[in-house]
Amino acid sequence: MPYSDYRPELMGAATLEPNGSFEAGSLQSFALTYTAGQFGVDDTGSIKIGFRFATDFGPVQFDDPQGQGYTTAEASNGAVLELEWEFKRNIRPWSRSLYVGVAKHFLKPGDTITIRFGDRRFGSRGIRLQTYAERRFEFHVLVDAIATYDYVPLPESPTIDVVPGSGVRWQAIIPTRIRLSEPFRLAIKVDDKWGNPSDRVATQVDLSAIGSIRGLPSSLQLEPGRFAAIVEGLTAEGTAAIEVRSTRGELLCRSNPIEVAAGASAPRHYWGDTHGQSDETLGTNSARDYFHFGRDKAFLDVMGHQGNDFQITTAFWKSLNELTRELDEPGRFVCIPGYEWSANTAVGGDRNVFFRHEGETIHRSSHAQIYEGPDRADEHTDAHTAAELFERLAGRDCVVMAHVGGRYADIRQAHDPVLETAVEVHSAWGTFEWLLQDAFEADYRVGVVCNSDGHKGRPGACYPGASFFGSYGGLTCFIAGSLDRDAIFEAMRRRHHYGTTGNRMILDVAVTTAGRAEVFVRDPAAFSGAQSMRTERIEMGDIARVDADEAELHVRVRGSAPIERVEIFDADRLIECIRPYAPTELGARVRLVYQGAEYRGRARTTNWDGELSIDGNEIVRTQVINNWNLDRGLQTQSATGVTWKAVTTGNYGAIDIWLKDGLAGRLSFETRHARGQRDIAVLGYERHVFSAGGLDRAVKLYRLPETMTQTNVDIRRRVKVRELGDTRLYVRVTQEDGHRAWSSPIYLFR
């Protein structure tokens, strides 16, 4: 109990009008009435209405009666009230709160305060509900009746249900790589404009295969009340995809590519989001809802739950382990127990801990929000620093991954090469490729994962909404022989996986050398006598000893959208940037990219609101890339200019501009952090970079083909193997639509 528990039954009551179910992201008006209890509320006492950390409800404002979010408060006895909208000035998870202080006078028992969120009496359109669905969205009422700033929660606070809107964004999801004759499933869903799977779609669609798919019906009916339409028992040959069209012939969506692997023992691709949390800690909806969403609405194969450890009670840890045991179904769905070790960056920063079996001891970073009583009995098991965590976990059947969220992992301070197998380079918090570079600088051998780190109850399909989250959540593709914990944990330990920004492209990276290489099953620098095997092909994530001074790198991409570029790296050194189009194919299309972050910490968000003008040419059309917030994006557009609103948190966004003439005129832009101008004629294949300080902050200008269609890229390149130390080969793939993927590095040494 983080607040005072003194006589809550004497602190009053609260009601809400209207109540019931409301569409996510819709404009509404609510009147919350607090009735003072037996103590009344003393002069300078107050109440607070708290909202969960991740919510994008609002914003609340008090100055513009005609503006969105206008909020008022009135006391029935005429007491003067003071209003303030607070963030992180209330105890989590109720991090956002409206403070209503009794500035003059007091309330007697039975007096009321009426707070109107989105007060429409003076012309406001209302207040926007949070943009994601929640079974019980709570107006959490706390009372400081004695004016001690020691708040008591009411025994019952008002709640509403936030439900999805109408479907507008179609998705068709199939597996990525399967074996010959293996049946697979097609899932079709339609998200509302804010990314919630909608159950309000009633229509027939037509289906067609690109490539060879057997068993595909020509049409499919979507039914109201259901969040997806499923077709089972399909089979395929080669590489294929599925198109979904309206009965009028309009293309609604195209599935991710599927590929049939040769050989009965060929590894398959399984998609996972192993990092997110539910409302038992800082997230939304229950842990059971969390897993059901990922399995049944995002169609994931692998999931984990990662609640902040200092909020995980003994009871919740037990129930979470019972839940993962119940839902884990080898061959269909892998559900992994674990937690987020959530220490301050100063002592190591955030780590994800995944156990292969239930019933393990949780070693928390602290018991900061686990209060007096039996839950403090295991405080002696805490690990207050990352070094202590690795000591506690030594010999345990688990895997650790470093990530960046609110806090960031300082892997240079502490790292265990046996346990810490990967770093998370992308999540809904942003893109953090610098964490991989930290590992390279320290000579660590780690793989790459991407996850949602979601707080909005949408694992595997985590849109950031309208709050400070800047990116769409990521996914990890595990390359494994079967869908069960043993195989997935082996993929983790061998770094046989790659990460994406949420798309499901096919990515293969391998190396061959003259003669056979010695591939180690475990890192020989960490495991004495590590088992090894002689092989001609070194796969993504492998650690291998080679005798040659050169190796041949094989890269194979099957994109979920046209490929803009493939970049090959040896650690931090760019070896080559490959574009699947020639300079002669460039057209009258200019891409302006804005990227980067303020710094590594919590306040990393960079505002890129800006404007662009064209002199001596005309804008025909525009498109925004990686804009996930409907409040942002293009604001104005004319034949000679555009304005936009945008943020990045280490990731990137872009604006594409199609011009009347591909070579005429001059482009000028201005943002808060960079400004510049270029003649259109000088823009071409290579990027013009305008540095903007911060953490890899920049604006980039270059041209693209007017239409891009190449989704398949196959690359073979000879690369040098360093004489000393590791050669660390990985690729970064960027699609035209803004999605990216990163392969886990291959580590070669002499």
Residue 476 to residue 148: CA distance in whole angstroms: 49
Task: Provide the mean pLDDT of the chain.
Answer: 96
Residue 565 to residue 734: CA distance in whole angstroms: 5
How confident is residue 265, by pLDDT bands cut at 50, 70 and 90?
Answer: confident
pLDDT score recorded for residue 55: 94
pLDDT score recorded for residue 633: 93
Residue 271 to residue 64: CA distance in whole angstroms: 47
| Residue with the two structure tokens 């995809």 | 241
Residue 134 to residue 51: CA distance in whole angstroms: 12
- Strands ordered across the beta sheet of 134-138: 21-23, 159-163, 134-138
636-649 b/e (C-beta count within 10 Å ≥ 16 → b): eeeeebbebbbbbb
Residue range 152-167: mean pLDDT, rounded? 98
- Strands ordered across the beta sheet of 46-51: 80-87, 96-104, 46-51, 140-144, 152-153
Question: Which CATH number is 8-162's, of 3.90.700.10, 2.60.40.1510, 1.10.10.10, 2.60.40.3080?
Answer: 2.60.40.1510
pLDDT score recorded for residue 50: 97
Q: Do domains 272-502 and 584-704 have the same CATH topology?
A: no
pLDDT score recorded for residue 406: 86
For 739-748, what is each residue's pLDDT tens digit?
999 999 999 9
How crowded is residue 507: how many other Cβ atoms within 10 Å of its Cβ? 24
Residue range 417-444: mean pLDDT, rounded? 97
Residue range 409-426: mean pLDDT, rounded? 97
Which DSSP letter does residue 649 get? Answer: S
Tokens representing residue 140 in the block: 């959490």
For 599-639, what is each residue's pLDDT tens digit?
999 999 999 999 999 999 999 999 999 999 888 999 999 99
Residue 421 to residue 20: CA distance in whole angstroms: 46
For 513-548, what is each residue's pLDDT tens digit?
988 899 999 999 999 889 999 999 999 999 999 999
**Closest CA relative to residue 278, chosen from 270, 289, 294, 262:** 289
Q: Is the pLDDT of residue 236 over 80?
A: yes
Question: Which CATH number is 584-704's, of 3.40.50, 1.10.8, 1.10.287, 2.60.40?
Answer: 2.60.40
Helix (H, G, I), strand (E, B) or coil at 379: helix
How confident is residue 492, by pLDDT bands cut at 50, 70 and 90?
Answer: very high
Q: Is the pLDDT of residue 322 over 70?
A: yes
Model's pTM, two decimal places?
A: 0.96
Residue 737 to residue 718: CA distance in whole angstroms: 29
Tokens representing residue 716 in the block: 């073979």
Residue 45 to residue 714: CA distance in whole angstroms: 68
pLDDT score recorded for residue 469: 80
Residue 408 to residue 330: CA distance in whole angstroms: 33
Tokens representing residue 748 in the block: 């070669």
Q: At what angle do helices 287-296 and 314-327 cross, to 10 degrees?
A: 30
For 18-76, what is each residue's pLDDT tens digit?
999 999 999 999 999 999 999 999 999 999 999 999 999 999 999 999 999 999 999 99
Alpha helices in 310-382 (DSSP H): 314-327
pLDDT score recorded for residue 264: 75
Percent of the chain with pLDDT over 70: 100
Residue 510 to residue 517: CA distance in whole angstroms: 12
Three-point CA angle 700, 702, 704, nearest 5°: 135
Helix (H, G, I), strand (E, B) or coil at 521: coil
Question: Which CATH number is 505-581+713-750's, of 3.30.70.20, 3.40.50.300, 1.10.645.10, 2.60.40.10?
Answer: 2.60.40.10
Q: Is the pLDDT of residue 467 over 80?
A: no
**Closest CA relative to residue 189, chosen from 255, 235, 250:** 255
Question: Which CATH number is 169-266's, of 3.10.290.10, 2.60.40.10, 3.30.559.30, 3.40.50.300?
Answer: 2.60.40.10
Q: Is the pLDDT of residue 587 over 90?
A: yes
Identify the residue with better confidence: 646 or 372: 646
The CATH number given to 272-502 is: 3.20.20.140
Residues paired with 304 in a beta bridge: 336
pLDDT score recorded for residue 745: 98
Q: 106: which residues sit within 8 A by CB, 6+ positions away? A: 40, 41, 42, 43, 45, 79
Tokens representing residue 77 in the block: 């006895």
For 396-411, what is each residue's pLDDT tens digit?
999 999 999 989 999 9
Three-point CA angle 448, 451, 452, nearest 5°: 155
How confident is residue 376, by pLDDT bands cut at 50, 70 and 90?
Answer: confident
Where are the domains positioned within the chain? 8-162, 169-266, 272-502, 505-581+713-750, 584-704
pLDDT score recorded for residue 1: 57
**Cα–Cα separations (whole angstroms), residue 637 to 232, 622, 664, 701, 737:** 45, 8, 19, 19, 21
Residue 460 to residue 462: CA distance in whole angstroms: 6
Q: Is the pLDDT of residue 553 over 80?
A: yes
**Closest CA relative to residue 190, chosen from 293, 297, 300:** 297
Report whether 197 contacts 163 (CB < 8 A): no
Q: Is the pLDDT of residue 373 over 80?
A: no
CA diameter of the chain? 89
**Closest CA relative to residue 212, chosen from 176, 243, 241:** 241
Find the range with the poorest average confidence among 254-263, 488-497, 563-572, 672-681: 254-263
**Cα–Cα separations (whole angstroms), residue 311 to 330, 364, 367, 370:** 30, 9, 7, 6
Helix (H, G, I), strand (E, B) or coil at 163: strand
Report whether 315 contacts 478 (CB < 8 A): no
Pairing status of strand 268-273 against strand 302-304: parallel
Identify the residue with better confidence: 528 or 177: 177
